Homo-oligomer: A and B are copies of this chain.
Amino acid sequence: MRVKELYLKYKKLKENAGTHSPSISTLISSIPEIEIDIDACFLSNPYATKLFFEYFKKDLVVTEKIYSTLEYYPSQNSVIAEDISRTIGIDSKQIFVCNGAIEGIQAVLHNVINGKLSIPIPTFSSYYEFCKSNLTPYYYQTSKEEDYCLNLRSYQKFIDENEINNVLIINPSNPVGSYLSLNEIGNFIEFNKSLDSIIIDESFIHFSYESKNLDMCSVHNLINKYDNLVIVKSMSKDFGIAGLRAGYVLMNRKRVASLLEHGYLWNVSGLTEYFFKLLQNVDFRNEYEDVRKEYLLDSFDYIEALNKIKKIKIINTKANFVLIEILNGKDSEEVTLDLLFRYGVYVRSCSDKIGLTGQYIRVAARSKEENLKIVSAFKEYFQ
């Protein structure tokens, strides 16, 4: 009875939240009866949050520099781009600083590209929701038989047949987590170098790897070779700082200059500017690399444990989450609410994701301790 009431309250909330899950703070403030123990919707490395917070405390709170950080205007976009440039070694004039990657996606879709945009589905919905009259989304359906992994040969055919001028690849993809190697992506970019734009969204790339020592992968280094390349990078997931709003887009100088000519003057906060300065700190970067690998190793154990649970199918992933097909006959919304109300585990129902056939939820990798709790809840629930 009580669960049913909660269910109705949640449903109403979700209707009002629009196209994305209601945030945890909205959820808690709207339905105080809910006890969320673990937010497994939230795709971030909690060890990195902890690391960032240590520096933040030491650098800004203890020194009270936080005062001036909140009081004064941050630097302008082009100045913060220089901070990022010093970290990633790419010319600052090719860096568009964003208030979260989502601002970069919006800026590119509204101002940089025109015509057609091919979007492999399922996908991060903003890529089609943000399309205005200047841009028509062309949905490329990945195949359930191939676990929704993007088949580049078939995607190429789709691009050619539909005379697409702008293409999107999220690598690793969201909500699937499937990964294309740098080699595959590199060949794809080379083949399509005459298109207007190739958008590679690497928001989750810090969780992907090709070598045994789990080194980071990226197509960052191709930005100077291909004028049509647009690389989107979020900081929210890998650094666990979504509340800060930080991201960037790499693209050719003309495109960056054109965006800055008519806007985006002071578009990130003083704290985000602090973060991009912190990224230049070698100690921080080394410690980050440690917690990145620690998180990955914990995720491997987690996914292995999830893989053993019956009545669910784990889709192969190189991101910090897994897409799970539910095979116990229940629908994904019901499973989501059951897990929330019975175990305090908040997972992402994928019922609103276009391009998925079947019942799916997306579950984040969290800390080792939380992962164990999620696995234990799943075991009990699905047995």
Q: Are B269 and A23 interface neighbours, CB within 8 A?
A: no
Q: How many residues on A have C-beta within 8 angstroms of the other chain's C-beta atoms?
A: 61
Q: Are A268 and B245 interface neighbours, CB within 8 A?
A: yes
Set of chain B residues within 8 Å of A267, measured between Cβ atoms: 99-100, 102-103, 245
Taking the closest CB of chain B, its distance from the CB of A52, in whole angstroms, is 7
Indicate whether A110 sits within 8 Å of B71 (C-beta atoms), given known contacts A76-B20, A78-B18, A244-B269. Answer: no
Within 8 A of B (CB), among A208-266: 236, 240-245, 261-266
Set of chain B residues within 8 Å of A25, measured between Cβ atoms: 68, 72, 74-75, 273
Type the 1/0 row for A71-112, where 1 means its CB is closer than 8 Å to any CB of B.
111111011000000000000000000011011001000100
Q: Are B69 and A243 interface neighbours, CB within 8 A?
A: yes
User: Taking the complex as formed, is A7 at the interface, i.e. its CB lies under 8 A from any CB of chain B?
Assistant: no
Set of chain B residues within 8 Å of A67, measured between Cβ atoms: 49, 53
Within 8 A of B (CB), among A44-77: 44, 46, 49, 52-53, 56, 61, 66-76
Q: Are B271 and A269 interface neighbours, CB within 8 A?
A: yes
User: Taking the complex as formed, is A17 at the interface, i.e. its CB lies under 8 A from any CB of chain B?
Assistant: yes
Not counting A16-B78, A102-B266, a sample of 5 additional A-B residue pairs whose C-beta atoms are within 8 angstroms of each other reads A26-B79, A49-B70, A53-B70, A74-B245, A132-B262
Q: Which of A123-131, A310-318, A373-381 contacts B (4 or more CB under 8 A)?
A: A123-131
Chain A residues proximal to chain B, CB less than 8 Å: 16-18, 20, 23-26, 39, 42, 44, 46, 49, 52-53, 56, 61, 66-76, 78-79, 99-100, 102-103, 106, 110, 126, 129-132, 236, 240-245, 261-273
Q: Are B271 and A17 interface neighbours, CB within 8 A?
A: no
* Residue of B whose beta carbon sits closest to that of A135: B262
Set of chain B residues within 8 Å of A26, measured between Cβ atoms: 75, 79
Set of chain B residues within 8 Å of A18, measured between Cβ atoms: 76, 78
Indicate whether A72 sits within 8 Å of B102 (C-beta atoms), given known contacts A126-B265, A130-B263. Answer: no
Q: Which of B100, B132, B243 contacts A70 (CB 8 A)?
A: B243
A265 to B68, CA, bound (A): 28
Set of chain B residues within 8 Å of A240, measured between Cβ atoms: 71
Q: Which of B53, B76, B264 contacts A17 (CB 8 A)?
A: B76
A53 to B20, CA, bound (A): 32
Give this chain's copy count: 2
* Residue of B whose beta carbon sits closest to that of A132: B262
Taking the closest CB of chain B, its distance from the CB of A78, in whole angstroms, is 7
* Residue of B whose beta carbon sits closest to that of A42: B72
- Can you spell out 8 A-B residue pairs with CB atoms less than 8 angstroms apart? A23-B72, A25-B74, A42-B73, A53-B70, A74-B243, A106-B264, A126-B265, A269-B272
Indicate whether A129 sits within 8 Å of B244 (C-beta atoms), given known contacts A67-B53, A269-B271, A271-B269. Answer: no
* Residue of B whose beta carbon sits closest to that of A272: B269
Taking the closest CB of chain B, its distance from the CB of A79, in whole angstroms, is 6
Q: Among A23, A49, A52, A132, which residue has the most Cβ atoms of chain B within 10 A? A: A23
Q: Which of B42, B72, B265, B272 contacts A24 (CB 8 A)?
A: B72
A132 to B244, CA, bound (A): 29
A42 to B46, CA, bound (A): 37
A24 to B65, CA, bound (A): 14
Q: Which of B17, B110, B269, B271 contacts A262 (CB 8 A)?
A: B110
